[in-house]
Amino acid sequence: MDFSELTEKTRSYRRFREERTISAGKLRKMISMAGMAPCASNLQRLRFSIVTDKKERSALFSGIGWAGYLADWDGPEPGKRPSAYIVIHAPEEHKFFTGIDVGIAASYMVLAASAEGIGSCMLLNFEKGAVDSIAPAEGYTVKLVIAFGYPGETVKLEKDSEKIRYWRDEKGVHHVPKLPSDSIILKG
Ligand SMILES: Cc1cc2nc3c(=O)[nH]c(=O)nc-3n(C[C@H](O)[C@H](O)[C@H](O)COP(=O)(O)O)c2cc1C
């Protein structure tokens, strides 16, 4: 698969085959990919926690806000939930570039996952207290949670769309619109 195919395939998945576990080796490999990512001044300030325990997943799940545009959907039902999460922590001491580092590291992880046939969803809408109780990290604050699992839904990329809001059709297919490339290039 070339890189453009990989980026097209790397969509946000919110329904998974929950019974299919992701090996610790694969999850640790994704983190090692994140560790290869560029970061400001090469400070490598980010830290990562893996959550796979069933009770911990359940506690984390209850604090997550899924798919804001799908107003009448409360998130994946039992059996369709993520089989793993990776939490990204950054030092409490704020630096203006932290969010950039987090975004790049997260991108590396979701691309690495996708290359292995694993779906993911970055999550900013999470309950901080729940994450802190499951994956405590003194001196650090939680910046992003990423859900992982083998895909349990079809996600269709809608290229060259003028829409922003994703939607789900009557067959349950999730559609993700993306603007035409020409419309996002300001110069050149
Ligand atoms: C920083 C960030 C935060 C996000 N937070 C959430 C979230 O809390 N809940 C959710 O269901 N999706 C979340 N998403 C997923 C976006 O909704 C998704 O990326 C967007 O709809 C485009 O779909 P795509 O990832 O398939 O291109 C987040 C994505 C990013 C990059």
Q: Which residue has the tokens 């090692």?
A: 32
- % of the chain with per-residue pLDDT over 70: 100
CATH architecture of 3-153: 3-Layer(aba) Sandwich (3.40)
Tell me what the pLDDT averaged over the chain comes to.
97
Q: pLDDT tens, 14-23?
A: 999 999 999 9
All CATH 3.40.109.10 domain ranges in the chain, comma separated = 3-153
Quick one: angle between helices 98-115 and 24-34, nearest 10? Answer: 140
Name which residue sits closest to atom 31 of ligand 1, judged by CA.
Answer: 122
All CATH 2.20.180.10 domain ranges in the chain, comma separated = 154-188
Nearest atom in ligand 1 to 166's CA: 21
| Residue 65 Cβ contacting ligand 1 at under 6 Å | yes
| Residue 66 Cβ contacting ligand 1 at under 6 Å | yes
Report the separation in Å between the CA atom of 186 and the middle of ligand 1, taken as the mean of its atom positions: 24
Residue 159: predicted pLDDT:
97
Name which residue sits closest to atom 19 of ligand 1, judged by CA.
Answer: 12
* CATH topology (fold) of 154-188: putative fmn-dependent nitroreductase like fold (2.20.180)
1 pLDDT tier (thresholds 50, 70, 90): confident
Q: pLDDT tens, 62-109?
A: 999 999 999 999 999 999 999 999 999 999 998 999 999 999 999 999
**Half-sphere CA count of 25, side-chain side, radius 13 A:** 1
| Residue 12 Cβ contacting ligand 1 at under 6 Å | yes
Report the separation in Å between the CA atom of 165 and the middle of ligand 1, taken as the mean of its atom positions: 11
Residue 96: predicted pLDDT:
96
Global pTM reads: 0.98
List strands edge to edge, sheet with 47-51. 47-51, 84-91, 140-149, 119-123
- % of the chain with per-residue pLDDT over 90: 99
